[in-house]
Amino acid sequence: MVVLSPRLSALCSLLVLAVSSHAQDSSAIASSAPASSAVLPSNALSSVASSVSSIVSSVASSASVSLSTVASSAASTPISSTASAPASGSISASASASGSASAPLSSGISSESATFSSAVFSSAAISASSAASASVSATTSAGGPPIETTQFTLPISSYPFSSFPVPSASPIPGVYPSTSPKTPPPPGSRLIPDFGPAWARAHARAKQLISGWSLDQKVATTTGVGWMGGLCVGNIPAVADWPGLCLEDSPLGVRDTDFVTAFPAGITAASTWQRALIRARGLAMGQEFKGKGAHVALGPMMNMGRIAQGGRNWEGFGADPYLSGEAAYETILGMQQGGVQACAKHYINNEQEHRRTQESSNVDDRTEHEIYLHPFMRSVQAGVASVMCSYNQINETFACEQDRTLNQLLKGEQGFQGYVMSDWGAHHSTLAAVAGLDMSMPGDISFQSHTSWWGANLTAFVENGTIAESRVDDMAERIIAAWYLLDQDQNYPEVSFNAFFPNDPQTNKHVDVQADHYKVVREIGAAGTVLLKNVGDALPLRKPRSIAIIGNDSGPSLRGPNGYPDRGGDDGTLAMGWGSGTAQFPYLISPLEAIQARARHDSSGSQVSWFLNNWDLAGAAATALDQDVALVFVNAQSGEGYITVDGNEGDRKNLTLWINADALVEAVAGANPNTVVVVHSVGPAIVEPWIENPNVTAVLWANLPGQESGNAIVDVLYGDVNPSGRLPYTIARRPEDYGTHLVTGGTGDEILRIDYTEALNIDYRHFDTNNIAPRFEFGFGLSYTTFSYSNLHIQPLDSTPSPSAALEAAWAAGHASPAVPGGSTALWLHRPAFEVSFTVRNAGRVAGTEIAQLYLHFPAGAGEPPSVLRGFADVRVREGESERVVLTLSRYDLSVWDAAAQGWRKPRGAFGVSVGTSSRDFRLKGVVPV
């Protein structure tokens, strides 16, 4: 590898001209796309190199230039920033948070939106990479952010390829059963599903199918048809008798079509801490994607909530790798049981929207493994069909051509057998194929440019000897194997919608796939609601005679639930964020509507009044005066960076609640001594202005509940559902209490440098390490009843006879696990090794669900945070009764990543265990007998 300095951007333009002068036109085969892709003929390579050499010779000896972006396309260079889902036009902005009283917030949409390498790369390429890494540096302009001055790319060379060895282990009944995506183990099961045999059968069939295909046909399988080139947001063309693929957003439902369910967001599902509900959500979504004819669902999203302001945090599962990993695992098992290919995204280190295409996330190896890679590892264990690489750079290399993360970690260390697709526009060179990218999405370099890094260019690179044809075979085989793995060759529905022209009668069949999935939506919406405060049993409501409903968030939007494209606005009740991670609402039950219905049901004498203007504080207070209860609904919104709402370019500008919310709460609380606040939010928000106000008697954190929003919150408000939600992140007292913050700034072609210097200490780990008191800690949540804990017992589990006894003994002695293909997902590392059991008693007067949480305390010298989540269970307990809870710990759970040895190692010393109700409320303590 070599280094590209931004100072040489002008030279790059000259290089492109040099290449273009030698390029010859060529047309792609009918089945490849885009058909007009420019080709670099094999006989032009030496001539190009000569021209390039004459230009590069003028460069200072301290600088070197990558030629991959030049030789990959003779016709075009990529735009620096794209959107995964650009709008068809711009939306005029209306009110800001300090603007007129009656105008909602709308949006403006901008144009932006190892050892295994020896099997793939030549030793020369690896040596070049090592040499280049020594020259990484960054500069900081006066008062500006740190800027990268280097970028790693692959040099033009000849790249041989050998397939990755396939990890294998013999099935173990009761521990490691052979299974398929159709028949996963039940939620929360100790069983570790072995998808190896199913993958082997799928790969064998794929290999047979492509054995008679031409090179052009195999290349066509890897190259999208281009933006708006098909019915779906992403499309792979049909080849011979193979029908191709429809790829469609989003992580919370089928986007760009009608008669689908708008499910609760990922952050709401995570807030339930209930595996069965998360699985049910995944299954229902999978069934709907299949019902619409989409082969690949672009989700779940599992980037970490490293930055509280992160625009797309709500699509994912929170700020802890274990919780995120379990939620990703259950979601994927559910989705693929429903018949659709799941796609784990965005791989990896894509934790902010600001300049996501022009930032380098610089992460050390241990932090990568223990925090950010973990949810993707759990996805591989769930048999995920595909992974989407992200827009950002990782340690100065674009994620979609990063050998370390794609080849070494994902396909090598984790043994991933599916395919890697690019995010839309995140593909930067033809040689990305060498680094591990398998599918180019949407296929064109810039949207509707009719150029492609692959297509005919990939064919040319094979013909001129740069890329081995065996690598293209591997790419096509991986893509088609995933299709076979999900049995999509067996009567799979045809695509019945048009993502780009939803009103076209010729291509939209308006197939209704909703079934009774509204029940899952309502159940998750209620179970994902977190009770943060409840003074004097203000909740549940007991048929109050007079109710005031206050706040814009309680009612419907003036434009209806889908009035803002991709939900890019804030008007009316908030049930999902904005961007490509959205879906159309079939309907949206507002709290105003649902509360009125419940009040009518409870008593014909109930009186309900409302006031929806957040800016008229006097009017709000007057409405709340002398009412039995005042319910104030407020929110905070965010989303994907191609949409800007009130100056929030995807990421939130700050952590305050929106639309004058703090002042609204204080005004209502000043008029009514029984003020209940309901918050619909994309993530953490600062609530200090009013949280200790004695007239604020209860607070419900309702997240983003989807289409049944009003019904779900009524279930909790009135006690039909005893709240059991728990926070999947920390709510701080001050924004500066968080250890990581949004990196802003940067202009033009500058690459922001985002150093993950906090290492393992994100969210609650940072608060614990630095002894910072949060307002509400990670894992916190109250109930309408009380629970007690007792009788903790920890014991090792007998794993004999074990086929991996030697490996287990070496681990026990403190040796790192071997650096072998599939080493990080090896059965012996993940099978239950210790059992932790305890009793939970419901000491209250109503039945309820407790979320019991297990935190591990590593030995002092291990370099870990004070507490790390390593287990949880939801347990339903009737009043006055007790239930025994059993959790397990694996050797992996008790390991740290040894970057020097490239393996998982047990630190020396004692391991403490705490069991309790949150990351700071421990009820029982013990020691793991290792």
696-701 and 751-755 strand pairing: unpaired
Q: Are 639 and 567 in contact (CB under 8 A)?
A: yes
Q: How far is the C-alpha of 681 from the C-alpha of 575, rounded, in Å? A: 9
Please, which residues have CB within 8 angstroms of residue 703's CB and are 6 or more apart in sequence? 264, 265, 267, 268, 271, 314, 528, 529, 530, 680, 681, 725
**Is residue 738 classed as helix, strand or coil in its secondary structure?**
coil
Number of residues that make up the chain: 930
The count of other CB atoms within 10 Å of the CB of residue 87 is 18
Q: Are 342 and 335 in contact (CB under 8 A)?
A: yes
Return the axis-axis angle of helices 661-671 and 617-624, rounded to nearest 10°.
40
Q: Are 414 and 377 in contact (CB under 8 A)?
A: yes
Q: How far is the C-alpha of 872 from the C-alpha of 864, rounded, in Å? A: 20
DSSP code, position 247 = E
Which residues are registered as beta bridge partners of 700?
A: 531, 678
386-389 and 848-857 strand pairing: unpaired
Task: Say how many CA atoms lie within 13 Å of 501 toward its Cβ.
Answer: 10
**Burial of residue 668 (number of CB atoms within 10 Å: 0-12, 13-18, 19+):** buried
> Identity (one letter) of the amino acid at 890?
S
**Is residue 540 classed as helix, strand or coil in its secondary structure?**
coil
Helix (H) or strand (E) holding 344: strand 341-347
Task: Say how many CA atoms lie within 13 Å of 758 toward its Cβ.
Answer: 21
> Identity (one letter) of the amino acid at 107?
S
What are φ and ψ of residue 705, in 5° steps?
Answer: -85, -5
Secondary structure (DSSP) of 869-903:
EEEEEEEEE-TT-EEEEEEEEETTTT-EEETTTTE
Token reading at 85: 């889902």
**Is residue 768 classed as helix, strand or coil in its secondary structure?**
helix
Instruction: Indicate the Cα dihedral angle 42, 47, 52, 53, nearest 10°.
Output: 120
Q: How far is the C-alpha of 31 from the C-alpha of 450, rounded, in Å? A: 14
Which residues are registered as beta bridge partners of 776?
A: 731
The catalytically annotated residue of 256, 423, 438, 571 is 423
- Residue among 713, 652, 712, 660 at smallest CA distance from 683: 652
Q: Are 589 and 710 in contact (CB under 8 A)?
A: yes
Please, which residues have CB within 8 angstroms of residue 569's CB and are 6 or more apart in sequence? 104, 105, 106, 107, 557, 559, 563, 578, 645
Q: How far is the C-alpha of 115 from the C-alpha of 118, rounded, in Å? A: 6
DSSP code, position 410 = I
- Residue among 555, 557, 615, 633 at smallest CA distance from 590: 555
Residue 423 designated active-site: yes
Please, which residues have CB within 8 angstroms of residue 810's CB and are 6 or more apart in sequence? none
SS (H, E, C) 648-701: ECCCCCCCCCCCCHHHHHHHHHHHCCCEEEEEEECCCCCCCCCCCCCCEEEEEE
Q: Which residue is listed with tokens 């297990």?
A: 854
DSSP code, position 164 = P
Helix (H) or strand (E) holding 322: helix 321-337
Token reading at 18: 């040099």
User: Which residues are tagged catalytic?
Assistant: 423
